[in-house]
Amino acid sequence: MSYIKTCFNQIFNYLRKNQTLILESTVYPGATKDLFYKRLNKKFKIGKDFFIGYSPERINPGDKERTVSKIVKLTSGSNSYSANIINDVYSDIIVAGTYLAPSIKVAEAAKVIENSQRDINIAFVNELSKIFSLMSIDTLEVLKAASTKWNFLNFKPGLVGGHCIGVDPYYLSYKFKKIGVKPTLISAARKVNDNMAKFFAKQILIERKKNKLKGKTLILGYTFKEN
């Protein structure tokens, strides 16, 4: 959160009445209020002469088809007045359309579970791949067979790359722990995915030793995005 706090501190003295401040970072539910409201309330009356919004970033870096304007934008505001204005502003930019959430907390939660859900699904197939390897079963062949059913979600085992997915679930875990709830599934998924690099490295070494292979190892996908 230090990056958001630093940015807020840098712009605070430039904030004026009747302006709207919109946060786009992925955060835990309630973070926008925790970060901004207390200090802003000393200078303004939020909802009357100053407005707050939350509209999470949805972007797929390097994707030439799903550009910013072609991805539905979640919007929200501190009250119905600001929420509608914020939604109208984004509607002028986003060709794919917008979705106005009933509250900032709902929008915050919706964004952070997008990546957490993906993390959990990948962790499931990663755990399967570990078990199947012990049973001499090809995981990719299993997924290929299972995918013949129309509603099967075909996630592939592998390393969870990029900035978001490896980080965002911790925001949820943090908030859940703050309210006294133990996030069992989210924490377990993170533990599985965090340990996959060691697992794959071990598998490579086993294969090299078994087949008496020599030479160098080529690592692909290290940069997260192509080129």
| 164 carries an active-site annotation | yes
The catalytically annotated residue of 23, 94, 104, 164 is 164
Helix axes 139-146, 104-134, angle to 10 degrees: 120
DSSP state of 52: E
Helix axes 104-134, 168-178, angle to 10 degrees: 110
C-alpha of 205 from chain center: 32
Residue 47 class from Cβ within 10 Å (0-12 exposed, 13-18 middle, 19+ buried)? middle
Active site residues: 164
